[in-house]
Chain A
Amino acid sequence: MNHNEITKYLDAYIDNQLNTALSKEVKDHISVCQTCQHIIQQRQYIVALLKKHKPYTPASEDKIEKIISHIKILEEVNDKKSKHNTGLWLIVGIILIITQIFYFLTSLLSIIEILQPSLLITIPFSLLPWYINLAFTPLSDFLVSTLHVFQPQTLQHIKLLLGFWHPRLIFVNLTIGCIAISLLSLKIKIFNIPEISIS
């Protein structure tokens, strides 16, 4: 490096902010360059002067207390908000999961009803979930009814299963499941407060 390039690094050299190789290069140049020696001396004097005469204002304890009390108020407001929100999310999440379980059970009952209707006699109130299931899933209701009435036995079973796992139903199920899981994991995340290191 030539003299002009070296002068760019003189301040960083004084501050020990250069890597070893660059620092050595600058040092070697300074040892033979009087202009750089003069700049270094002048800069070191400026640094020492600034260190010696530090403008200073003492910290007011009142101000610190004011900040802390302000933050405490903010924290209390946030706590109230987050408790309210987590409660709501939890309820929505639980309702969605119950809906999922209910849907699954009623779907099972629907299959049993078609494959082995005699089994249903042993299940009390079996018709109630069946009708509720119809209300929840009109598409499966339509497919099941159609298949049940018009198709031969084997083909009926296959189409019945296809009807239950129709892409639209799978999509709806997955969406509801994802929302429920997200809401519950969000709730868990709120209580899982990671540590912070102060350096």
Chain B
Amino acid sequence: MNKHIDHETFTDIVHKYYEEVVNYLYRFCGDRYLAEDAAQIAFIKCWQNLDTYDKTKTFKPWLFRIAHYTAIDLLRKEYRQGDTISDSVEGKSPTPEQIIEENEQTVYIRNAILQLPEHLRSTIILREYHQMNYRDIAETLNLPIGTVMSRISNARKLLAKSLEPLIEEK
């Protein structure tokens, strides 16, 4: 037994959220292996810091916040090892497995998202792919709701520009 939660309950949490967390991190940093490493570290951090979790708030934004900052830390470590942060994110080319799984348009969209500045990228991913409402996004990224609103708007504007060829195809 530990803190607020026992091992079995936490195992359920890992099963319930692992895939969603890994996919958030994958969409955010574009690297499956980094996403898996960050998710693993995030769940362990989450377990170790359960006593700081405010039970009056929803669990998911808290977990996602830990995962988000863990991924940023890992990306910074990569950056210190030589790459720039944007290189380490934008320079990820899809693996052969990914190419099989994702069609051309998906890869195009994935790259468009990865080219967004980090602060816009995290906000738009949480909104579009994880269906978080503005309040939860604000809680996850520790921002005022107004900032979330303007970030989503700016991200969509930039995506509209970079996805113009797809929009024209329509």
Contacts and interface: CB of A to CB of B under 8 A. Distances in A.
Contact of A63 (B2, B4, B36): B36
A42 B153 CA distance: 12
B100 interface: no
- Contact residues of B: prevailing secondary structure: helix
Contact of B149 (A12, A70, A193): A12
Interface residues of B, number: 62
Contacts, number: 136
Interface residues of A, number: 41
A64 B109 contact: no
B64 interface: no
Interface in B78-97: none
A59 B160 contact: no
- Contact residues of A: prevailing secondary structure: helix
Interface in A53-87: 53-60, 63-64, 66-68, 70-72, 74-75, 78-79
Given A43-B160, A71-B47, A11 B27 contact: no
A50 B121 CA distance: 13
A199 B55 CA distance: 10
Contacts of B106: 53-55
Contacts of B1: 75, 79, 193
